[in-house]
Structure 1
Amino acid sequence: MGVLAVTGLGCLATGTAVLLLPFFAETEPLRPEKVDIIFEKPRSKPPTSKEENREMVSPQHVQVKKSWENPGVYAWGSNTGKVVAPESKEAFVKTPRRLSYFDGQILRDLKLDRDFGAAVTENGDLVQWGTAFSKGSANPIITLKGKDLVKIAISRDRIIALSSGGSVYSIPVASADQTAKETASTSSSWIPFWSSAPPTVSYRILKPKSLGWGEKVVDVSSGLEHCLMLTSKGRVFSAASSSEDFPARGQLGIPGLTWQTRPEGPYDQPYEIGALHRFKVKAIATGDFHSLALDSDGRVFSFGDNSSGQLGFQSELGSPYVDVPAPLPVTALYNGTKLLPKVTSIAAGGLNSYFTVDAKRVQGKGNNAKELVPVKDLGKTISETWACGEGIYGSLGTGKWTHISTAPTKIKALSNLYEYDEATNTIVPIRPAHLSVGATHVCAVLDNATHLSASGQTSANDTNYGADTLWWGGNESYQLGTGKRSNANTPLYIGPLDGGQQAGSSVVGRLEGTDRFQVTPRKTVRLGEGGSGRKVSIEQRVECGRLVTAVYTGT
């Protein structure tokens, strides 16, 4: 066996095996390497107060606290019109971001489009911004003052504003059009005229005729070309709400009314919808080109464009427009179920319609009477949410991608939900308290149990929490707030406005995702950190617009 010595290593070979042996220098003894000692990081300090303990154990408590300390507006989605982030060149804002102009402000109302935004301040003034308002500067500014506005709706190019006294104003979106000196009252034509003392911002008044003693407009809603007005006596009026196109898809609810057949008078004069005159309407809603009305007996009437099935029934071949309000066939959805349905709310937007139903368990009649409902189940109420219209973006919320719906489809994630009511010791249904519908996406705010009474007098484990919100539909401009661009055809949670871990979690059960976004319900509080500010009644509200979304503090 031969031995070969090399510097630093000795090599011993026997056959095919090779063994490398270390070669130690005689003059330098081997010493251990120096090791850095890493001490254990100090643990978080235990809470020193009830409030610190609440913040540690409940993300929802933190959300409620921040909503009271920092009122304002969060927005996200498309920023091509400088609506979500006026100071930014970003095309999209992927997650909720504060709109700095409104920091510390409480709003009466807010509406967003991709290219313009409009809001009503706490004292009733109108604020506008976006590139469609001004190409030179997209920053928010107050435009119309002194009208004590309480609510607004937006069309393609105008703002429909309702005052506390029931006056309805039609205001141009573009600042250039606001200086065109439109008449401040109704006139015999659409063409504005000059006056010696024009208002600072020109507008038109939409005044329904033949209002009764003490009757006034109490609600407004607008599509791209038309608007609806609801009076205190349950009457509904419709009018053109855009200066670009006259409504021609039946959405006004006036049979045979077109640009050519319209009567003499202003282009945007209101018309009472005669087919609804004998019903006391309590709610109105509008999509892009269609309308909904809900009466006090829980009946829904729909009219306008039905090309995607948004009116709740199948379109007749070659006749997609319905210009006479037609009852939505809700009862037919519950045939054979021993449930008596009553619609409790409606919503619309884009090419979609939504309605919620309270269905009460009753005994069947006729052949159904053979199968008796147990006495303990009689009178039990279930709540269900239905959708109809276009579903290619997932806006039906049914888990499917559907171009056209031929009948309403139940949104299972928002139906048959219950919780225990400690006040009455009973199981009660959970309903959507509010549905906000954009062009392709939707948000549902649930009326689940909330708690806003944690104080210095209650235990350290008594935390505040708000109302759950669920989101679905189109997400092409990141308007769902998940931080991703994929559409969602089933309702999901998003993370808290200031960041969170559960963004985009799908709904399996209502309690999935502990760190999810919740809105704070109405509460009279003192604003500012530590409750050092003025006392006011506020709530958080969600507003879905055309490819944009906002959450704001409302009064």
Structure 2
Amino acid sequence: MLSTRCLSRAASRAPHTPRLGRTLSTRPRPQTRTKAAAHPYAQRRQQHFVRSVATVTALFATAATWEWFNGAKILREVHAEEVPTEEQELEFEKPRRRPTSEDDNRNIISSQHLQVLKSWENPGVYAWGSNTGRVVAPDSEETFIKTPRRIAFFDNTLLRDIKLDRNFGAAIDERGDLLQWGAAFSKDTTQPTPTLKGKNLKSLALSRDRILALSSSGDVFSVPVSQEEQQSGPKPASTFWIPFWSSVSNKISYRTRTPANLAWNEKVTSLSSGLEHALMLTSAGRVFSFASGSQDFPGKGQLGIPGLTWETRPEGAFDIPHEITTLKGFPVKHIATGDFHCLVSDASGRAFSFGDNSVGQLGFDFNPEATFVDAPSLLPTQRLYAGTAQQASVTNVFAGGNTSFLTIEATKPLASARDTDRVQADTWAFGFGLTGQLGNGRWIHNQSTPTKVPAFSSLFEWDETTNTPIPIRLAHMSIGSTHAAAVMNNVASVAVSGRSRKLTENDTNWGRDIVFWGNNEFYQIGTGKRNNVPTPTYIQPLDQRAEQERAASVLGDGWGRRREKEMHRFQITPRSKVKVGGRTVSLEQKVECGRGVTAVYSAL
């Protein structure tokens, strides 16, 4: 038998047996691999990884070597082609052309100076828009003239006035004679033709089928548009200075429409016409109206005479003048007419309107039961400045088509020495604006409440003469049937005319800003495009050839071609005394917007 010590040793060497009372687990224990058992698998994976890394490394090294070799070759080839054997001289932009005179230097440095100079050297008429009536380009069969073009007949010609319609045109030459052209005047005549002569005319107005002309002495004439009617219609008798001696004028048919009951030394000073009616303003501030056309009698209240219709008119000619007695006591300073409505303003800064109000062109809310107002009605312009403590004063009125404009100066009464007396000049528009002719950036059918035109309102500039800010007012507005133009009364310079103080070669002339807006169906805006323009916009200078020549001569051909693409805006020349044809005259450029057409001309 084994001893107890031997049993104890055997037991200690025997496998471990669980103690009593413990539950045996049936989950197999994880077997721990010995290092010898795991060696074959690990060795194979390690060998596979080493081979993969070696393969990728070899491919990468091969690709890098190939790229380096070919890249070096390409660099050597490019280097060999681009780098010359001799050092190449750098080319710089050509220097500015040396001016030949002080005037030449001014032309180079200022497009505006060149425009002013060209308007003096080459006076004439630029026109654009619809040419269906051969008005804009009498010798052309083109339907549209998209950008300003000179009418050759008026080259180096000064005019007193010009008015254009799509189908006929009229102008007053330097002698005061009436010129007419266009398809409605004569289909066979392609050049402006003298018609009413020897009357010393100074201004014109157009109705639907007649031309109204005002003479320097205050006489008003109504002339048919048609040449055939001028030749076949009744001609007035011409009275000579010999007593009881008179003869029938063998020139053209026309009617005299000067008011008969003018006071001593009173005469007509201003004339404006719509399609069927016209207004006359006298030197005493009185206003007369009459039927300006022969097709239809005014029937929308635009004569300003309550109850006056074709049936109720007085005996005599249908187009005799009538004084608008409602305006007595209000000395009128300005008159304006649209197609079927009127605006007037008096010396105290009040404005009145009457006529058609179907789209709010009178400045009153539309009333479907009363679409027109047949008596002058006061516009509540002070309401436009409610809550500002400013006093509003109307300075001018403008109208055309179915739109109206007011220019107002607003001032605040001085309450203390610290208050400013700055004048705020604003422009307000109302009426039809569906094609952008209100100029406020909106497309609206009926604008019965005057809306401010931001482009012409609350603007100021610095006056270097007085060293103070001054308001930028409007010098003039021309309202066509569906588009308009405005000339700003900004500070201009026409000092370089050979009769002023001593100037340097860098002193230049510059004109006034002029902008266009509204309907552009016939390219009458002058941008060369056909889209309507709801906000006032600039156009390019009228003389494009002179502008291109200037650009090409400044810094060489390359730089000049780049300059041709730059936008230089058209600036209209203000009045100045200059020499034209060896004589000194007072000359300025003016703009006229008609029915689908526009013109800029050299005016006396």
| Matches for 1:249-264 after TM superposition, within 5 Å | 249-264=300-315
Deviations 1:223-267 (A, max 9, x none): 000000111101000000001110010000001111111110111
Matched residue SS, 1:408? strand
Distance 1:343 1:185, change over 3 A: farther
Q: CA deviation at 1:362?
A: 2.5
In structure 1, distance between residues paired with 2:418 and 2:140: 60
CA contact (8 A) 2:497 2:578 kept: no
In structure 2, distance between residues paired with 1:72 and 1:515: 21
Q: CA deviation at 1:43?
A: 4.3
Matched residue SS, 1:494? coil
Matched residue SS, 2:232? coil
In structure 2, distance between residues paired with 1:545 and 1:317: 30
One-letter code aligned to 1:104? N
From 350, 355, 361, the equivalent of 1:310 is: 361
From 131, 148, 165, the equivalent of 1:113 is: 165
CA contact (8 A) 2:235 2:248 kept: no
Partner of 1:191: none
From 122, 130, 147, the equivalent of 1:78 is: 130
Question: What is the alpha-carbon root mean square deviation over aligned residues?
Answer: 2.4
Partner of 1:143: 195
Partner of 2:261: 210
In structure 2, distance between residues paired with 1:77 and 1:404: 26
Partner of 2:58: none
Partner of 1:394: 436
| Matches for 1:210-359 after TM superposition, within 5 Å | 210-359=261-410
In structure 1, the gaps of 5 or more residues are: 1-13, 22-30, 187-194, 364-372, 502-512
Deviations 1:39-82 (A, max 9, x none): 87854422232111111111000000000000010000000010
Distance 1:338 1:41, change over 3 A: closer
Partner of 1:47: 99
Q: CA deviation at 1:199?
A: 3.4
Partner of 1:190: none
CA contact (8 A) 1:126 1:142 kept: yes
CA contact (8 A) 1:83 1:116 kept: yes
In structure 2, distance between residues paired with 1:402 and 1:354: 15
In structure 2, distance between residues paired with 1:374 and 1:149: 51
CA contact (8 A) 1:76 1:481 kept: yes
Please say which structure displays the higher CA radius of gyration.
2
In structure 2, distance between residues paired with 1:164 and 1:47: 46
Q: CA deviation at 1:374?
A: 6.9
Q: CA deviation at 1:320?
A: 0.9
One-letter code aligned to 1:523? S
TM-score, normalised by the number of residues in structure 1: 0.86
Deviations 1:443-502 (A, max 9, x none): 11010000011256310110000110011111110101011111111111111101369x
Q: Tell me whether 101-110 or 307-316 shows the greater mean CA deviation.
A: 307-316
In structure 1, distance between residues paired with 2:527 and 2:180: 27
TM-score, normalised by the number of residues in structure 2: 0.79
Deviations 1:383-431 (A, max 9, x none): 0000010000101111110001120000011101101112222110001
In structure 2, distance between residues paired with 1:446 and 1:86: 31
Partner of 1:438: 480
One-letter code aligned to 1:157? D
In structure 1, distance between residues paired with 2:300 and 2:578: 47
Matched residue SS, 2:258? coil
Matched residue SS, 1:470? strand
In structure 2, distance between residues paired with 1:485 and 1:330: 35
In structure 2, distance between residues paired with 1:81 and 1:535: 36
In structure 1, distance between residues paired with 2:268 and 2:247: 30
Q: Tell me whether 39-48 or 343-352 shows the greater mean CA deviation.
A: 39-48
Distance 1:322 1:185, change over 3 A: farther
Matched residue SS, 2:120? helix
Q: CA deviation at 1:201?
A: 1.0
From 581, 589, 594, the equivalent of 1:540 is: 589
Matched residue SS, 1:390? strand
CA contact (8 A) 1:185 1:205 kept: no
CA contact (8 A) 2:362 2:448 kept: no
Matched residue SS, 1:398? coil
Matched residue SS, 2:592? strand
CA contact (8 A) 1:218 1:231 kept: yes
In structure 2, distance between residues paired with 1:132 and 1:348: 24
CA contact (8 A) 1:520 1:540 kept: yes
CA contact (8 A) 1:181 1:199 kept: no
One-letter code aligned to 1:459? T
Q: CA deviation at 1:278?
A: 1.4
| Matches for 1:159-178 after TM superposition, within 5 Å | 159-178=211-230
Distance 1:377 1:487, change over 3 A: farther
Matched residue SS, 2:411? strand
Distance 1:424 1:361, change over 3 A: same
Partner of 1:483: 528
Q: CA deviation at 1:333?
A: 0.7
Q: Tell me whether 40-49 or 310-319 shows the greater mean CA deviation.
A: 40-49
Matched residue SS, 1:403? strand
1:469 counterpart = 2:469: no
Partner of 2:577: 524
Matched residue SS, 1:200? coil
Matched residue SS, 2:138? coil
One-letter code aligned to 2:384? L
Q: CA deviation at 1:32?
A: 8.2
Distance 1:380 1:41, change over 3 A: closer
In structure 2, distance between residues paired with 1:292 and 1:176: 34
Q: CA deviation at 1:147?
A: 0.4
Q: CA deviation at 1:208?
A: 1.1
In structure 1, distance between residues paired with 2:177 and 2:445: 41
Partner of 1:370: none
From 520, 531, 539, the equivalent of 1:494 is: 539
In structure 1, distance between residues paired with 2:418 and 2:236: 61
One-letter code aligned to 1:548? V
CA contact (8 A) 1:185 1:204 kept: no
Distance 1:80 1:514, change over 3 A: closer
Q: CA deviation at 1:316?
A: 1.8
Matched residue SS, 2:444? coil
Partner of 1:454: 496
Partner of 2:600: 551
Q: CA deviation at 1:336?
A: 0.9
Distance 1:249 1:185, change over 3 A: farther
Give the % identical residues. Answer: 55
Distance 1:427 1:376, change over 3 A: farther
Deviations 1:271-314 (A, max 9, x none): 00010111101111100000111111111110000111011111
CA contact (8 A) 2:237 2:247 kept: no
One-letter code aligned to 2:568? D
In structure 2, distance between residues paired with 1:539 and 1:346: 22
Alignment length, in residue pairs? 498
Deviations 1:187-214 (A, max 9, x none): xxxxxxxx97343011001021311111
Matched residue SS, 1:146? coil
In structure 1, distance between residues paired with 2:573 and 2:158: 14
Q: CA deviation at 1:181?
A: 3.0
Partner of 1:65: 117
In structure 2, distance between residues paired with 1:59 and 1:166: 41
In structure 2, distance between residues paired with 1:276 and 1:78: 39
